[in-house]
Amino acid sequence: MKVSQLRTPALVIDADGLEHNLKTMAAALPGARMRPHVKAHKCTALAHRQAQVGHRTFTCATIREVEGMAKAGLGEDLLLANEVVDAGRLSKVDARVTLAVDSEATIEAAAAAGVKEVVIDVNVGLPRCGCMPDDAGRLADLARKKGMQVRGVMGYEGHVVGLDDGETRARLCEESMQLLLAAHKLTGGDLISAGGTGTYACNTWANEIQAGSYVLMDTTYAKLGLPFRQALSVLTTVISVSAAFAVGNCGLKSLGMDHGNPGMDGAMVLFCSDEHITFIPEQPAKVGDLVRVLPAHVDPTIAYHERMHVISGDDVLDTWEVDLRGW
């Protein structure tokens, strides 16, 4: 199949960029030093590629992702790095599942559901989930008392991963990780799990990194000067052209917009509507042209799509289902 035969808007992955990103991360953080976060791509076919380059432990954000990864034969060591109340669903999953807990309530929900292993989720500065560092020991004791094994701690420095300035990013990452290490002293266990694409290189305190975006990238992470290539774009057909601008057939329902407008090479994006993108092209465009739109945020972009196509030049090499969507 040729790229020109794809129904648009279509998520496409540049095969060379993908392979470059896989190899670069596997060289930097081989094997279990990297626990890829599947929330970024929600695609077990892509997770299989990550496993093939050596990462056989994975991070998930939802129970659905855990279920799908287990079904795809990738359940060797899954960390559900999020609190859940309906943990009972995990009892039906045929995989090694470790669950994040940060409160008595989530520990009780985990125990009641028969969860065997947990990590204590620690707030390291991002105002989201996680206990206070000095409460981690109490929660670990409680989890053990309930019969669960405590594998260690996790703490996501999400307020740091996107900072433009590399030195500031590294300094604040260290501050966050000192909090996590302090909590780890109280909990014990083997795992110190943290990190993201923006801190994979500077976070030398965690012993595994939960990066997700690196494998496909987006325009927001591209600004940080990381050694990963933008492999993901939304293939779009030009449907209208006027004197001042052109319009393509992707929009708010094919692009995550929380990081602002997407980018385009050789064009300035004006705005997006539900099924439109209005842009000013440097070279004249015509109706029927195919153009590439570069998402500003990979995760919520992919979550809109049923499938993505791996392409090389004009050829579609493979089509992968985005099979971990929903909840």
Contacts of 274-277 with CB under 8 Å at 24 or more apart are 275/249, 275/250, 275/251, 276/239, 276/247, 276/248, 276/249, 276/250, 276/251, 277/236, 277/247, 277/248, 277/249, 277/250, 277/251
Residues 75-114 contacting a second copy, CB under 8 A: 82-86, 102-103, 105-106, 109
Binder to a second copy among 17, 68, 130, 263 (CB under 8 A)? 130
Our finding on whether 326 is near a second copy (CB under 8 A) is yes
The helix/strand count (H/E) of the chain reads as 8, 15
CB of 104 to a second copy, least distance (A): 8
Which member of 14, 157, 299, 323 binds a second copy (CB under 8 A)?
A: 299
CB-wise, 242 or 283, nearer to a second copy? 242
DSSP annotation of 143: H
- Measured in whole angstroms, the distance separating CA 57 from the mean position of its chain's CA atoms is 14
With binding defined as CB under 8 A, does residue 193 bind a second copy?
Answer: no
Residue owning tokens 């030093």: 33
Task: Figure out which of the listed residues 30, 266, 273, 313 binds a second copy, where binding follows CB under 8 A.
Answer: 273
Give the 3-state secondary structure of residue 139: helix
Q: Region of 217 please: left (phi>0), alpha (psi -120 to 50) or beta.
A: left
Q: Is residue 53 part of the contact set for a second copy (CB under 8 A)?
A: no
- Angle 36-200-20 (CA atoms, 0-180°, nearest 5)? 65
Among 167, 225, 244, 284, binds a second copy (CB under 8 A): 244
| 129 touching a second copy, by CB under 8 A | yes
> Which stretch in 15-23, 161-169, 223-231, 274-282 sits in contact with a second copy by CB under 8 A?
274-282
What is the smallest separation between the CB atom of 85 and a second copy, expressed in angstroms? 5
Tokens found for residue 229: 């290539």
Is residue 22 within 8 A of residue 229, CB to CB? The reply is no
Q: Does 128 bind a second copy (CB under 8 A)?
A: yes
Minimum distance of a second copy from residue 250's CB (angstroms): 9
User: Partners of 316 in the beta sheet?
Assistant: 311
9 binds a second copy (CB under 8 A): yes
Nearer to a second copy, 207 or 261 (CB): 261
**Minimal distance in Å, beta carbon 310 to a second copy?**
19
- Interface with a second copy, residue 256, by CB under 8 A: yes
Site residue total, a second copy (CB under 8 A)? 57
* DSSP-assigned beta bridge partners for residue 101: 120
- Does residue 235 contact residue 10 with C-beta atoms inside 8 Å? yes
CB nearer a second copy, residue 96 or residue 325: 325
Find the shortest distance in angstroms from Cβ 88 to a second copy: 11
C-alpha 231/C-alpha 309 separation (Å) is: 11
- Sites of contact with a second copy (CB under 8 A): 7-9, 39, 61-62, 82-86, 102-103, 105-106, 109, 123, 127-130, 132, 158, 237, 239-242, 244-245, 247, 249, 252-254, 256-258, 270-276, 278, 286-288, 297, 299-300, 303-304, 306, 326-327
